[in-house]
């Protein structure tokens, strides 16, 4: 089962408890695939990265996966520099050029 969450805040130490709780509720409800929409996320710190890794590992143990959508360049750069884009799917934020070419 897939569950989609739209993140409305940056994924940083001050805000990760809400993300962790929402992910746990989704998994408790049977979700094995979690899609996070990060269109509004402009910052991601080490605590946020740790939470994403933990969520991803929990989902993988259940046979599922974590997917990140609408990832802005600044957040993608952090994820990519830590090589975490190898551990969960990352779909970058579509650019204006992408939208006009489709």
pLDDT of residue 95: 56
pLDDT of residue 43: 95
Q: What share of the chain is helix, strand, coil (3-state, %, to 5)?
A: 45, 25, 30
pTM equals: 0.87
Tell me the C-alpha to C-alpha distance, in Å, between residue 11 and each of 1, 30, 61, 77: 24, 24, 23, 14
For residue 71, give both structure tokens: 């990832």
pLDDT in tens, 42-80: 999 999 999 999 999 999 999 999 999 999 999 999 999
């Amino acid at each position: 089962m897939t569950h989609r969450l739209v993140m409305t805040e940056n994924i940083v130490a001050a805000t990760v408890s809400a993300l962790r709780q929402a992910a746990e509720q989704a998994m408790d409800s049977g979700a094995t695939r979690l899609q996070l929409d990060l269109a509004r996320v402009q910052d991601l710190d080490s605590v946020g990265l740790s939470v994403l890794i933990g969520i991803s590992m929990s989902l993988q143990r259940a046979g599922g996966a974590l997917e990140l959508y609408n990832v802005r360049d600044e957040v993608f750069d952090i994820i990519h520099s830590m090589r975490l884009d190898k551990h969960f799917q990352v779909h970058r934020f579509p650019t204006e050029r992408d939208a006009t070419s489709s």
